[in-house]
Amino acid sequence: MTTPSQSNASFTCRVLGERILEPQTPLHVVHHWDTDGMASAALVIRARRGKNHEPETRATTPRIGSFSPQAVVEALGDTVEKRGFRLLVLDYGISWPPQPLEGLGGEELHVVDHHRTGYPKWLKWWCNPAAVITKGGEEESPSTTWVLYRHVLGDPRDPQVRALVALGLLGDLGHRALRGVLRGVLEGLLRPSRLSPEEAYRLSQLLDSCYKTLDRACVEEYTLRLAWGDLGELLGDEGLQRRAASLERTVKEAVKGEPEILLNCVRGRVGVWVRESNAYITSSVGRALASERGLDVIVLVDRVPPLGRAYVYTRSPHLPVGAWLVGVLRSLAPSAGGKDSVAVAECPLARGCVERVLDAVLRVLEDRLGGCNHA
Ligand SMILES: [Mn+2]
């Protein structure tokens, strides 16, 4: 069923697509630092290439870990003052302020995304099916590369553009995209470039090692390589392989460590780990702890000094800790979120926030699981 707002949205997406492909108009792309964001930017850069000319296209990523409209302005650098540039923000799920920011008028700013968020009236050019459809939006738009492919740019013939669509899907969905109905879609997209879905998944992990090591230059360099380089060659890139291998070792080490606190409760066991590192791998470590330690709930307090932040990450293999915790976390931390089996609060490093949040998490868990004793 198509509601009027949906058909209007898909019309807007097509016109947006024509505007960002106009070869005579320079474009600055600001994109999320993960694989989907990098692949989305590369896809647009490549799609803009004309027969006999190289249109001027810049691509940068916001400071890693920062989600704000101000971070977009900073990533644009001196482009903000340049006349004639169009701006495109990709895969960067922030909520925009009710008034345009200085230097970011509503006419030349374009946004393509698949995160569930809302848009103010001043922002004229946005394409985000998940913001229009109230139910199931994110499932139907699993990546920004998918939104570009289905709604904005149309079906591309270029094999590399099709492979980039698949790469974004694998980046955001992870290995679960390798099974089920999506597998056929991935095979279709990847066939012309002779990559298997497994190889493309591996490439997405290699690319994510740029942001996990908090290396913005790496993100920007490999975005251009995705646009113009050979994807099979990138899979063998030694720099990326070393980076990813070192992150994998760090996660393995972290998972071996003993918990700071261990609670035995009537309806489950809870482990609390505390760590500090220079890598942005809270969710990798948290997932591994939840799947490998055989506990009912894991809590990970992860301090990341280069980001000036600490994360309190709670995950369960089977309990709805997201539903239990997200409301409480939002009242205690500057930023918090989650879904069914995971809840994360983001705190400044300074004392106070982490302690408050951890106390509240343990209180809620003790309440839900009943009769807890320290082991
Ligand atoms: Mn994405």
Predicted local confidence at residue 2, as pLDDT: 40
Residue 6 has pLDDT above 60, yes or no: no
> What are the pLDDT digits (tens) for 350-369?
889 999 999 999 999 999 99
pLDDT at 136: 54
Question: In whole numbers, what is the pLDDT of the chain averaged over residues?
Answer: 91
Q: Check: CB of residue 89 under 8 Å from CB of residue 117.
A: no
- Per-residue model confidence (pLDDT) at position 55: 80
Ligand 1 centroid to residue 204 C-alpha, Å: 12
What's the CATH number of domain 4-241, 3.90.1150.10, 2.170.190.11, 3.90.1640.30, 3.40.50.20? Answer: 3.90.1640.30
> How many whole angstroms from 365 Cα to the centroid of ligand 1?
31
pLDDT classification of 1: cutoffs 50, 70, 90: very low
Beta-carbon neighbours within 5 Å of ion ligand 1:
36, 91, 144, 172
Can you give the chain as a three-state secondary structure string?
A: CCCHHHHHHHHHHHHHHHHHHCCCCCEEEEECCCHHHHHHHHHHHHHHCCCCCCCCEEEECCCCCCCCHHHHHHHHHHHHHCCCCEEEEECCCCCCCCCCCCCCCCCCEEEECCCCCCCCCCCCEEECHHHHCCCCHHHHCCCHHHHHHHHHCCCCCCHHHHHHHHHHHHHHHHHHHHCCCHHHHHHHHHHHHCCCHHHHHHHHHHHHHHHHCCCHHHHHHHHHHHHHCCHHHHHCCHHHHHHHHHHHHHHHHHHHCCCCEEEEECCEEEEEEEEECCCCCHHHHHHHHHHHCCCCEEEEEEEEHHHCEEEEEEECCCCCHHHHHHHHHHHHCCEEEEECCEEEEEEECCCCHHHHHHHHHHHHHHHHHCCCEEC
The answer to whether 92 and 67 have CB atoms below 8 angstroms apart is yes
Tell me what the mean pLDDT of segment 278-304 comes to: 95
Q: If you measure from the C-alpha of residue 103 to the centroid of ligand 1, how many angstroms do you get, rounded to a whole number?
A: 26
pLDDT value of residue 137: 54
- Fold designation for 257-374: Diaminopimelate Epimerase; Chain A, domain 1 (3.10.310)
Annotated domain spans of the chain: 4-241, 257-374
pLDDT in tens, 69-92: 999 999 999 998 888 899 999 999
pLDDT bucket at 7, cuts 50 / 70 / 90: very low
The percentage of the chain sitting over the pLDDT mark of 90, rounded to a whole number, equals 76
pLDDT at 273: 98
Q: In this structure, is the dihedral angle defined by the CA atoms of residues 158, 162, 168 and 171, taken in order, positive or negative?
A: negative
**What is residue 134's predicted lDDT score, i.e. its pLDDT?**
57
The pLDDT confidence band at residue 106, using thresholds 50, 70 and 90, is confident
CA of 37 to the centre of ligand 1 (A): 6
Q: Provide the pairing of β-strand 27-31 with 57-60.
A: parallel
State the pTM of this model: 0.89
| CA 40 to centroid of ligand 1, rounded, Å | 9
DSSP strand pairing (86-90 vs 261-265): unpaired
Distance (angstroms) between ligand 1 centre and the Cα of 211 equals: 14
Residue 344 alpha carbon to ligand 1 centre in Å: 18
